[in-house]
Each structure stands twice: as C-alpha cells, then as structure tokens.
Amino acid sequence: MLTSFFGKSNPINYLILAVFIVAGYLLGAISQSEVFITPSLLLIHSLFIIVSVLTMLLLDFIIRKNQLTKNNTFAILFFTCFLVMLPIIFLQHQILLANVFLLLALRRIMSLRSDKNSEKKILDASFWISVASLFHFWSLLLFIPLWIAILQKPNSNYKQMLIPFTGFLAVIVINTAYQLLVNDTFLWFLSWKKDTSFEFSVYNSASILVPVTILLAFYIWTAIYRILKISKLPLKEKPSHLLLLYVSITTFFIALGAPEKTGAELLFILAPVAIISANYIESSGEKNYREKDAAEFWFKEIMLWVVVVLPFIFLLL
C-alpha cells in the first residue's frame, strides 16, 4: 500500500524520489531538448538535476522544521510526481532558481510563529524573495504572506513591518553594483519586469492539460478539506494553516504573472499544493484507519496511485 509505505519517513523513500526526479529530468527534459548536447550543456544539466533534487529535500526540511505535516513523506511524494508530470519545468532554469529562493523565503515565513530571532527571519525572507524576483519578477508577491505572517506572530510591531523594505533595497543595491561592474549599466530595472502573457494555447496539449487539470483538482479538493478542518484545529495551529492557504493563493498569482505560459510556471504552486494534499492523505496512515473508514481509505489510496502512475505514462508517451 502506498499510504503505508510513504506514511513513514525512511531513507529509502528519499532515495526513490531522488532517483525519480533524476529519471524525470533525463527522460523528460534532455531527451526533448532540440539543442545539441555539448560538454558545457551537460554540466549545466547536471547542476540543475542537483538543484531539482535539493529542491525536494529543501521542501521536506521546511515541512519538518515547521511541523506542517505529520512524520511522513506524502508531501515530497506529491511534489516529485507533480514535478515529473511537467518535464517542461526542467528546461526553464530561471523558474527553477526562482522557486528555490522562494522556498528559502517560505522557510523563514513559516517559522515566524516561534517568535525567536524574528527580525533576522523577516530580513532573510525579504532578501530571498527579492533575489527570486531577479529571475521571476512577480515573486515579489510573496511579500504579502510575509507581512501577514508578521501580523500573525506574537509581539508584532510596526518596525518589523518595515524590515522587508531593507531586504529588498539590499538586493537592489547589490544587483545594481553588479550590473555596473559587469554590464556597465545601472538601468537593468527597465527590463526587470517583463510583460505578462495571457496566451494559454500551449495548455491545449494533452501533456500539459492533463497534469494541470489533476493539479487543480487536487488543490481545490484538498483546500476545501483544509478550510473545513481549520475550525476544529487547536487555536495555536490555526495561523500556520491559514498562512499556508494564503501562500498557495499567492503562488497561483506568481505563476499567472509569467511572461510566457509554457506550463513550467506551475512549479511555483507545487510546494503549497503538495503540503495541503499531504494533510488530506496523511490520516490514512493512522492505526486502524482502514477498518474505521474503508471507503475513504481506498479513495485516498487510489488518489495516490493516480499521482504516482501518471508521471510514468507521460514520460513513456
């Protein structure tokens, strides 16, 4: 049973998912690339294979550090399968880098509820968001959940609300200095924000449309479940659950702001959707759950199998 296997946190789980990402990259990205493979390009692909695996591990670290799920690997399973379902992501290196920096920011945002070293966490989060915006301008929208997290945290004050501007300005100054030294210009910001495209014709392809449909179906279904469950949660757990919903909505608009719609922009929503989906599935791993509610247990088991099998189908087509 998949719910039993990934309901635990074993080293073999991470190894399997890492191999799956590598296979997905090799079969879905390199094999589809029309560019002639050179040694330098091979090196770049090798680096981004490592980045892709580290992204999965970073997401797992964020989840465990902030107890966003129980002790299982459902979230990174969802993330990995959704990622491999859309191999076009592997060819969009700027989006891959922007997503890594946004996850680094998310780590700090979700940890603000502990109210320890708050100023440093806020500065770190704003710095990473600003760095991510250099690769994808609309990453700046993640400042909204950051300010919400500041308001939610204990002992919040107006000075902390101003710290994100410091992180933002630091990145602007550093990048301006870099542009002056390397490109002899400080007008880089004129091309920083690219025009947003609403041309979704590429989504007519089955290889994009089917994964997008499944991803949105999972998000809607599990988000409704999460919203209904919030009222039953202990008071101290509600802010983090609500914050994750705000993050998921924000990442949707970050993806929508992509200058070119290729399907790769969906990477931004994968992490929050994976966590929310894991929250829905993880009760299946509880003791005697199968006997208590057999119908729901098998429904969740089938959902997991669908998510696991579909990437193989798309890779072999």
The pTM of the whole model exceeds 0.85: yes
pLDDT at 288 over 70: no
Query: What integer is the mean pLDDT of 8-33?
Result: 84
Query: What integer is the mean pLDDT of 182-192?
Result: 77
What is the reported pLDDT for 17?
94
What is the reported pLDDT for 76?
94
What is the reported pLDDT for 95?
94
What is the reported pLDDT for 155?
78
CA 27 to centroid of chain Cα atoms? 22
pLDDT at 292 over 80: no
Q: Which amino acid is at 26?
A: L
Query: What integer is the mean pLDDT of 13-42?
Result: 81
Of the two residues 95 and 289, the one the predictor is more confident about is: 95
SS (H, E, C) the chain: CHHHHCCCCCHHHHHHHHHHHHHHHHHHHHCCCCCCCCHHHHHHHHHHHHHHHHHHHHHHHHHHHHCCCCCCCHHHHHHHHHHHHCHHHHHCHHHHHHHHHHHHHHHHHHHHHHCCCHHHHHHHHHHHHHHHHCCCHHHHHHHHHHHHHHHHCCCCCHHHHHHHHHHHHHHHHHHHHHHHHHHCCCCHHHHCCCCCCCCCHHHHCHHHHHHHHHHHHHHHHHHHHHHHHHCCCCCCCHHHHHHHHHHHHHHHHHHHCCCCCCCHHHHHHHHHHHHHHHHHHHHHHCCCHHHHCHHHHHHHHHHHHHHHHHHHHHHHC
Query: What integer is the mean pLDDT of 46-57?
Result: 93
Give the CA angle between residues 274, 161, 273 to the nearest 5°.
Answer: 5
How far is residue 73's CA from residue 3's CA, in Å, rounded to a whole number? 10
Which of the residue ranges 83-92, 181-190, 214-223 would you say has the lowest mean pLDDT? 181-190
Average pLDDT over the chain, rounded to whole?
A: 86
CA 46 to centroid of chain Cα atoms? 21
Of the two residues 183 and 160, the one the predictor is more confident about is: 160
Cβ contacts of 239 within 8 Å, gap of 6 or more: 113, 152
Q: Which residues of 42-67 are buried (b: 16+ CB within 10 A; e: fewer)?
A: eeebeebbebbbebbebbbebbeebe
Name the percent of the chain lying above pLDDT 70: 93
pLDDT, tens digit, 9 for 90 and up, residues 223-251:
888 888 777 777 777 788 889 999 999 99
Give residue 258's region: left, alpha or beta (phi > 0; psi -120 to 50): beta
pLDDT at 141 over 80: yes
pLDDT at 73 over 60: yes
Nearest to 275 by CA among 82, 29, 8: 82
Query: What integer is the mean pLDDT of 265-283?
Result: 89
What is the reported pLDDT for 159?
85
Query: What integer is the mean pLDDT of 132-152?
Result: 94
Identify whether the C-beta of residue 156 lies closer than 8 Å to the C-beta of residue 163.
Answer: no
Q: Which residues of 22-39 are buried (b: 16+ CB within 10 A; e: fewer)?
A: eebbebbbbeeeeeeeee
What is the reported pLDDT for 34?
59
| Both tokens assigned to 95 | 């989006």
What is the reported pLDDT for 287?
54
How far is residue 137's CA from residue 130's CA, in Å, rounded to a whole number? 9
pLDDT at 290 over 90: no
Query: What integer is the mean pLDDT of 90-112?
Result: 93
Residue whose structure tokens are 């919203």: 227
pLDDT, tens digit, 9 for 90 and up, residues 55-72:
999 999 999 988 888 888
Tell whether the torsion through CA atoms of 223, 224, 225 and 227 is positive or negative. Answer: positive
Name the percent of the chain lying above pLDDT 90: 39
Query: What integer is the mean pLDDT of 181-195?
Result: 79
Give the CA angle between residues 146, 70, 9 to the nearest 5°.
Answer: 115
pLDDT at 77 over 90: yes
Nearest to 237 by CA among 113, 109, 70: 113
- In this structure, how many other beta carbons lie within 10 angstroms of the beta carbon of residue 152? 17
Query: What integer is the mean pLDDT of 285-312?
Result: 74
Of the two residues 211 and 28, the one the predictor is more confident about is: 211
